Chains A and B, each alone.
Chain A
């Protein structure tokens, strides 16, 4: 039987880099983009043998701004993917799109290429805030793109929003959120801004930056987060991961795969993969969890994209302990949390024996709860989830 595989395809181009963005992406000439599409096609081809063992359940075209590609380019890539891989009929196929870069023609091509989900990077419904973030579009342009997508028959749409941006108030945030709710998208991702190192935002708003005080305080930020949950709950969205909300049945299957440690193959510049490599020689029937990413250097990728072994970087083979750690810190990102019996099934060990004491301690402190064989973060636990993960996984400090 074929194993399930998710595909991530990275398009590292955008019209203009946003001030807060730390993704591997940037503007490029039409010629460069064309070269890249060719290299990507070559990389997909190179997986022909491996593809035979798998059946693809989700595809995600992420970026950058994948919608910067022309309709034909998108279709070209998708055609090759379809040639090489076996794709399930009911597969979820998402493309990220920036308002202002989608046209009716492109949307038609997407449909034809089997894309059935669009994720719009709106970020805010307030034009002042959009400008502050360095976005290229206005809210009105987003509305146009959104309506266009609906007209073309896309019935699974996500809208990305960012809260806690500089100078934002809980009121302006609630207003953005309400405007989006009114559009009734199937899915909403609401992220708290992360001031990433090395971005223009870090200089402005990072530690010691002149604008540091313009960022909402931790209290305001958490208030916005709680308000988000309340408003979306009322509007019929289910909170299913720290930053993700969806109408019933529209949870993003691709992303859930990451948190449930399903295998995924990253294609394109810098894309990350997670594979359970068969290791029949070493341990009969066993597998070995491996993470790696493609080179982040464009020249290398363009030259040798068709040789997966040559462009792989940071190859990590996970120890059992690391696998357990991932199971916990990824699984607990989901609001439904992790199942104790799943842990046992995957590792042949009782989670209570491995982390029992620490788990009980965080439960006692009201950060985690146990419910019908599942462990999940409490509301308070979500706010300080990094801390909770640390407490569960590593709390063996000296106590006298």
Chain B
């Protein structure tokens, strides 16, 4: 493997708006190059997380190396790096891009350029990648490739006239894509003789091999036995194995040299020693400076995560640490709740990110979690001049000590067909949006620009957007700083006791409405008990809403004879399972899912 000619390597990724067919194209490329026969192909090879297949989205960047025999008779090595499409995972995208020299931009022949298409192209251009457009889904009856090509040229400003018109689904014109990869994606240009300089773009933990580092070799070479050093953490280790990515498996090789994408395992035991974005060099012959790496990501959404079974606290910590290994955007620190015990305050890029982490913890690590309502980071300016960055509503100081508060804002771009403009404007209005402008991209489609408070979009904005535009609107946002706002802490009292895990920060004018809905929702969620349970919403000492869970008067089985006994025992077993999912606050048993109630306030 030592003598690979860099001019025969192509490192690229595929970027696209969600659902435009990125993973399907990746599958098709893998299939066409013969890495797997179509019989072996499991649909969407690169989405190998169970969760990814189920949801049809890519969460983690995945890589695969394939060999393509081009029409010029030469064999080329393609390193394809799949990237996530959702706005929450931009950070992952940017890591993958750093390992590439070019990007295939997939655009849906019917839907055309969407918000994420733009966002991803800009990311790619930021990383100095050459962007090669591909028009997908030409088999759709509503496909209009010529219009879309025009749109790409107008809106994005890149040449698209000879973009392959393909259907990744049916396999039409995939050859064109492969040929253009050879022609249009630049070959890497590193010096294999220079000191080693490799960028860590991902890592995973394997119980046999330990930490597996995914890297792009920019300069130099690395093989078994090389003593490597992490430039940021200074950790040193001897390389145990190097290799590249087969479809869903690691294939060891002799050496990785400049221009190649592959993996390294080394005698690294500590997960923390390998930081994504760090540069690996040769300890014996270090390079002069590290690669630029990535900017640190800021979590946008916070929530408390608690093990349903308090004894699983340490398991939860271990699981979070393993997940953070290749998800630098995940942050967590221990916290305690009166209602929920010991857990963690976790930071996420967005609500989808939160949901994904929650599901991975539950499925991959078999943890049963109680999650509190997500919130954003508020800035609290105290009268004594201190400023607090508030991630947990329970830590809000006494109102008397607060001078004012600020909340994070976002600039949102919503792309929508003209018939839904009114509906979407109404939605933004309801969510305290400030209109900033509108541009027509073409006759029937416009981009709406709004400034919105982040806490108005973290819950269900995306769903509302989809439902009010019958699925046609798409949405992207970026942070735009903090603004002063009238915010209050809404507390929930159950049977006259404040439940800290249910408190949340809310815009003052929405407090009454939210409090009322919260009480209604909790009334549905909390099972009747032997006594009446008042549920109250309060701001400070002022009660603003109340509901009552009526007392249970009767829970008795009239008949229990010979044939009923097994069934009765099973019913009791069920009751026991239900009980396991309860938390006791004062005298009241509260089911775990009640702590997520605030998320479902707008459910009909």
Residues on A lying within 8 angstroms of B by beta carbon are: 8, 191-194, 218-219, 221-222, 242-243, 255, 258-259, 264, 266, 270-274, 291, 293, 314, 316, 322, 325-326, 329-330, 333, 365, 367, 382-387, 389-390, 393-400
A326-B569 contact in complex given A255-B561, A383-B556, C-beta closer than 8 Å:
yes
B559 lies within 8 A of A326 (CB): no
Q: Which residue of B lies closest to A292 (CB)?
A: B566
Q: Does B584 contact A (CB under 8 A)?
A: yes
- Chain A residues with CB below 8 A from B338, complex form: 400
- Chain B residues with CB below 8 A from A8, complex form: 562
- Chain B residues with CB below 8 A from A218, complex form: 553-554
The CA-CA distance from A191 to B560 in the complex, in Å, is 11
Which among A384, A393, A395, A398 is the interface contact of B556 at CB below 8 angstroms?
A384
B553 lies within 8 A of A389 (CB): no
B341 lies within 8 A of A272 (CB): no
Q: Which residue of B lies closest to A322 (CB)?
A: B569
B555 lies within 8 A of A387 (CB): yes
Residues on B lying within 8 angstroms of A by beta carbon are: 309-310, 338-341, 530, 552-563, 565-566, 568-569, 571-572, 575-576, 579-580, 582-584, 589
A–B Cβ pairs within 8 angstroms, 21 of them: A191-B559, A222-B553, A243-B559, A255-B561, A273-B562, A291-B565, A293-B563, A326-B569, A329-B572, A383-B555, A386-B556, A386-B557, A387-B552, A394-B579, A396-B579, A397-B580, A397-B582, A397-B583, A397-B589, A398-B309, A400-B341
- Chain B residues with CB below 8 A from A316, complex form: 566
Chain A proximity of B22: nearest CB distance (Å)? 44
- Chain B residues with CB below 8 A from A382, complex form: 556
A242 lies within 8 A of B562 (CB): no
- Chain B residues with CB below 8 A from A333, complex form: 560
The CA-CA distance from A193 to B559 in the complex, in Å, is 10
Which among B340, B341, B572 is the interface contact of A394 at CB below 8 angstroms?
B572
Which among A384, A389, A400 is the interface contact of B554 at CB below 8 angstroms?
A384
Which secondary structure dominates chain B's binding surface?
A: mixed
A222 lies within 8 A of B565 (CB): no
A365 lies within 8 A of B530 (CB): yes
A258 lies within 8 A of B559 (CB): no
Q: Which residue of A lies closest to B531 (CB)?
A: A365
Q: Which residue of A lies closest to B577 (CB)?
A: A394
Which among B557, B563, B576 is the interface contact of A271 at CB below 8 angstroms?
B563
The CA-CA distance from A274 to B340 in the complex, in Å, is 43
- Chain A residues with CB below 8 A from B579, complex form: 390, 394-397
A398-B584 contact in complex given A258-B565, A291-B566, A390-B575, C-beta closer than 8 Å:
yes
Among B338, B339, B561, B575, find the residue whose CB has the most chain A CB atoms closer than 10 A.
B561
The CA-CA distance from A259 to B563 in the complex, in Å, is 12
A399 lies within 8 A of B561 (CB): no
Q: Which residue of B lies closest to A291 (CB)?
A: B566
The CA-CA distance from A49 to B73 in the complex, in Å, is 86
Chain B proximity of A354: nearest CB distance (Å)? 15
Q: Which residue of A lies closest to B309 (CB)?
A: A398
A192 lies within 8 A of B558 (CB): yes
Q: Which residue of B lies closest to A190 (CB)?
A: B558
Q: Which residue of A lies closest to B580 (CB)?
A: A397
A383-B554 contact in complex given A330-B560, A395-B579, C-beta closer than 8 Å:
yes
A272 lies within 8 A of B566 (CB): yes
- Chain A residues with CB below 8 A from B566, complex form: 272, 291, 293, 314, 316
The CA-CA distance from A119 to B571 in the complex, in Å, is 29
The CA-CA distance from A191 to B310 in the complex, in Å, is 42
- Chain B residues with CB below 8 A from A194, complex form: 557-559
Q: Which residue of B lies closest to A257 (CB)?
A: B562
Chain A proximity of B190: nearest CB distance (Å)? 56
A390 lies within 8 A of B580 (CB): no
Q: Which 8 A-B pairs have the closest CB atoms?
A: A394-B576, A272-B563, A191-B558, A218-B553, A386-B555, A390-B575, A384-B555, A399-B584
Chain A proximity of B176: nearest CB distance (Å)? 58
Which among A271, A326, A389 is the interface contact of B565 at CB below 8 angstroms?
A326
- Chain A residues with CB below 8 A from B568, complex form: 329
A242-B558 contact in complex given A390-B576, A393-B576, C-beta closer than 8 Å:
yes
Among B552, B563, B580, find the residue whose CB has the most chain A CB atoms closer than 10 A.
B563
A274-B584 contact in complex given A386-B556, A386-B575, C-beta closer than 8 Å:
no
Q: Which residue of A lies closest to B310 (CB)?
A: A398
Q: Which residue of B lies closest to A365 (CB)?
A: B530
The CA-CA distance from A397 to B575 in the complex, in Å, is 12
A221 lies within 8 A of B554 (CB): yes
- Chain A residues with CB below 8 A from B572, complex form: 325, 329, 386, 389-390, 393-394
- Chain A residues with CB below 8 A from B575, complex form: 386, 390, 394
A325 lies within 8 A of B569 (CB): yes
Among A192, A325, A384, find the residue whose CB has the most chain B CB atoms closer than 10 A.
A384
Among B558, B576, B582, find the residue whose CB has the most chain A CB atoms closer than 10 A.
B558
A266-B341 contact in complex given A218-B554, A393-B576, A398-B584, C-beta closer than 8 Å:
no
B562 lies within 8 A of A266 (CB): yes
- Chain A residues with CB below 8 A from B309, complex form: 398
- Chain A residues with CB below 8 A from B339, complex form: 400
Q: Which residue of B lies closest to A8 (CB)?
A: B562
B565 lies within 8 A of A385 (CB): no
The CA-CA distance from A392 to B338 in the complex, in Å, is 26
Chain A proximity of B594: nearest CB distance (Å)? 14
A270 lies within 8 A of B563 (CB): yes
Among A219, A274, A397, find the residue whose CB has the most chain B CB atoms closer than 10 A.
A397
A385 lies within 8 A of B553 (CB): no
The CA-CA distance from A351 to B205 in the complex, in Å, is 49
A398-B583 contact in complex given A218-B554, A272-B566, A316-B566, C-beta closer than 8 Å:
yes
B558 lies within 8 A of A243 (CB): yes
B559 lies within 8 A of A219 (CB): no
The CA-CA distance from A325 to B576 in the complex, in Å, is 12
The CA-CA distance from A389 to B555 in the complex, in Å, is 11
Chain A proximity of B57: nearest CB distance (Å)? 35
Among B340, B562, B572, B582, find the residue whose CB has the most chain A CB atoms closer than 10 A.
B562
Q: Which residue of A lies closest to B336 (CB)?
A: A400
The CA-CA distance from A399 to B559 in the complex, in Å, is 33
Chain A proximity of B526: nearest CB distance (Å)? 14
The CA-CA distance from A264 to B310 in the complex, in Å, is 43
Which among A258, A270, A291, A396 is the interface contact of B561 at CB below 8 angstroms?
A258
Which among B341, B554, B559, B565 is the interface contact of A330 at CB below 8 angstroms?
B565
15 additional A-B pairs beyond A242-B558, A271-B563, A390-B575, beta carbons within 8 Å, are: A8-B562, A192-B558, A194-B559, A221-B554, A258-B561, A266-B562, A316-B566, A326-B565, A333-B560, A386-B571, A390-B572, A394-B575, A396-B579, A397-B580, A400-B341
Chain A proximity of B549: nearest CB distance (Å)? 14
- Chain B residues with CB below 8 A from A384, complex form: 530, 552-556
Q: Which residue of A lies closest to B550 (CB)?
A: A218
